[in-house]
Structure formats: structure tokens, C-alpha cells
């Protein structure tokens, strides 16, 4: 099991996961937020940064994540939202300015375990020094295992998109 360093992190950047059509969270989103709240309550992180845009007509992932975190006991003043990102590349790009503005240098990114390799690649190539931790469901379903295959297929496409962005940026 992953353990945070003794001195902790400034913030846990919790990556969103698509909402259901009615705006309710998926198990992935609930799992990620629960881990972020646990990190906050144990003092492993000082704040939560919820990143996720409007993937449902009902609202943004970040707002749903904030509500879940507050319902689990996280203080509103320790939660910040980024409400535009629709994918992991945008999570990194849109959060970069927020992290700098707040002076948050020690960043722990929270996502699902199957998403960790692609997340590490994206954040590193976009020059964001972070640590990435992955959560797993208590009982992995077939859908969760299939997500590993989807991630394997998504990695090359993501690499092309990130490198194209870096070339355009110069």
C-alpha cells in the first residue's frame, strides 16, 4: 500500500471521472474523492484540488467532487475547484496556474490505479513535478479490469497529443 512521506503534500489534485447522464458520480469518482478526503483527514495533504469539467448536462465533475468531499467531512475552505478540464491533459494544463498561484509545490495526484502510468507521463511531459497515487476498488469488477486495456490503447494516442502540444508551444 502507498504511504505518503512524513512531511506530507501541499495538495491532493484529485482527477475527475465522467459523471453519469443524470449528474451522479461513477464509482471511479467516488473512489478518488474518498481517497483524497482520507489523505486530507490524516494530514498527508493540506488541501484538495478537484479537477473536472462539465461531462454531464447536470454540472461539472469538480462540483460533484466538492459535494462528495464535504459530505465526507472535508472543510469547504480546504477545497479548490478547477471546472474546465475534460481530460487528463487538460487537468494538468488547467491546474498548473492554480498550483503556482497558491504556491502548492508538493502535489499528489489521485486517480485510479490503471490510470497512473498515463497520468505520470502527461504531468512529467508538461513539466509538472508531481507524485501520482492510484486507488483500486474493494472488489475489482470486469469493467475495472477492462479499463486497463482501454488505458493501454489510450497511451500511444495520448503521447502523440502531448508531444504535438509541446511542439506547438515551442
- Check whether 133 has a pLDDT greater than 90: yes
Q: Which domain holds residue 95?
A: 9-169
* pLDDT-derived band at 147, boundaries 50, 70, 90: confident
- Check whether 2 has a pLDDT greater than 70: no
CATH of the domain at 49: 3.40.50.620
Measured between alpha carbons, how far is 16 from 29 in angstroms, rounded to an integer?
6
Q: Is 102 helix (H, G, I), strand (E, B) or coil?
A: helix
- Give me the pLDDT at residue 55, please: 87
Measured between alpha carbons, how far is 93 from 82 in angstroms, rounded to an integer?
11
Predicted confidence (pLDDT) per residue in 112-123, tens digit:
999 999 999 999
48 occurs within a structural domain: yes
* pLDDT-derived band at 7, boundaries 50, 70, 90: low
Predicted confidence (pLDDT) per residue in 84-109, tens digit:
999 999 999 999 999 999 999 999 99
2 occurs within a structural domain: no
Q: Which are the contacts of 114, defined by CB distance < 8 A and separation ≥ 6?
A: 134, 144, 147, 148, 151
Task: State the total domains in the chain.
Answer: 1
Amino acid at each position: 500500500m502507498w504511504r505518503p512521506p512524513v512531511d506530507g503534500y501541499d495538495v491532493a489534485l484529485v482527477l475527475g471521472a465522467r459523471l453519469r447522464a443524470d449528474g451522479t458520480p461513477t464509482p471511479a469518482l467516488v473512489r478518488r474523492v474518498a481517497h483524497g478526503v482520507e489523505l486530507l483527514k490524516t494530514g498527508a495533504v493540506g488541501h484538495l484540488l478537484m479537477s473536472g469539467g462539465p461531462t454531464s448536462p447536470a454540472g461539472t465533475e469538480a462540483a460533484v467532487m466538492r459535494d462528495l468531499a464535504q459530505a465526507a467531512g472535508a472543510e469547504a475552505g480546504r477545497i479548490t475547484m478547477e471546472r474546465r478540464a475534460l481530460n487528463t491533459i487538460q487537468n494538468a494544463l488547467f491546474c498548473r496556474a492554480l498550483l503556482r498561484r497558491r504556491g502548492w509545490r508538493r502535489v499528489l495526484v489521485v486517480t485510479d490505479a490503471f490510470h497512473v502510468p498515463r497520468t505520470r507521463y502527461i504531468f512529467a511531459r508538461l513539466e509538472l513535478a508531481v507524485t501520482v497515487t492510484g486507488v483500486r476498488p474493494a472488489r475489482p469488477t470486469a469493467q475495472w479490469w477492462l479499463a486497463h486495456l482501454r488505458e493501454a490503447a489510450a497511451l500511444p494516442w495520448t503521447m502523440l497529443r502531448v508531444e504535438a502540444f509541446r511542439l506547438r508551444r515551442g
